[in-house]
C-alpha cells in the first residue's frame, strides 16, 4: 500500500486530534482517570476547590450525595455528570466538543442500578 502525502496528513491530523481530545478530558480533573466497573465512558476525578459560587454549590451537592448515585442537576449545568461510586469515590464526565460523555455515562450508570438524584 502506498501512502499519498494527503493520506498521511489526514492520518496525522486524526491521531493528533485524538490525543488532544484525550488531554481536554482533564481540564477540570486532577489528571487521574478512574473507572467504574461496567462503565466504558472515561471519567475523571473532580477538583472543585475554588471559591466561585458554582464550585461551592457543586461541592455541597457532592458532599450530600449517597454512594452509587449521580446528578446532572449541579451548578455546572446539565452537560456535567457527577458521580459517587459504591465506595464513595467522586467522579465526573462532561459533554464537550462533540463528545457526549455525560450522556453516555448516565445511560451506563442507570443500567448498573445507580440512582439519579436532583
What pLDDT score does 107 carry?
93
Cα angle at 25 between 24 and 30, to 5 degrees? 105
Tell me what pLDDT residue 17 has: 66
Strands 29-34 and 69-71 turn out to be: unpaired
Burial of 46 per CB tally in 10 Å (0-12, 13-18, 19+): buried
Does any domain span residue 3? Answer: no
What local confidence, expressed as pLDDT, does residue 65 receive?
Answer: 92
1 domain residue, yes or no: no
Euclidean distance between CA atoms 18 and 63, whole angstroms: 34
The reply to whether 99 falls in a domain is: yes
Q: Comparing C-alpha atoms, which of 56, 41, 39, 65 is closest to residue 118?
A: 65
> Does 6 reside within a domain?
no
The parent domain of residue 70 ranges over 28-116
Instruction: Name the domain count of the chain.
Output: 1
pTM for the model: 0.66
The predicted structure's pLDDT at residue 12: 81
Asked if residue 4 is part of any domain, the answer here is no
Is residue 61 a part of any domain in this protein? yes
What pLDDT, on the 0 to 100 scale, is given for residue 19?
A: 57
* CA distances (Å), origin 42, targets 36, 84, 103, 114: 9, 15, 12, 17
Q: Which residues make beta-bridge pairs with 96? A: 99
Q: Does residue 5 belong to any structural domain of this protein?
A: no
State the 10-residue block means of pLDDT for the chain, 118 residues long.
80 70 45 70 81 85 92 83 90 85 91 92
Task: Tell me if 21 is assigned to some domain.
Answer: no
Amino acid at each position: 500500500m502506498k501512502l499519498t502525502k494527503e493520506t498521511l496528513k489526514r492520518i496525522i491530523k486524526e491521531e493528533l486530534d485524538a490525543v488532544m481530545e484525550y488531554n481536554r478530558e482533564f481540564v477540570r480533573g486532577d489528571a487521574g482517570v478512574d473507572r467504574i466497573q461496567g462503565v466504558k465512558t472515561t471519567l475523571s476525578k473532580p477538583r472543585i476547590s475554588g471559591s466561585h459560587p458554582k464550585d461551592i454549590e457543586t461541592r455541597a451537592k457532592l458532599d450530600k450525595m449517597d454512594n452509587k448515585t449521580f446528578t446532572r442537576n449541579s451548578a455546572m449545568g446539565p452537560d456535567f455528570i457527577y458521580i459517587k461510586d459504591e465506595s464513595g469515590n467522586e467522579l465526573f464526565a462532561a459533554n464537550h466538543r462533540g463528545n457526549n460523555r455525560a450522556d453516555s455515562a448516565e445511560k451506563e450508570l442507570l443500567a448498573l442500578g445507580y440512582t439519579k438524584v436532583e
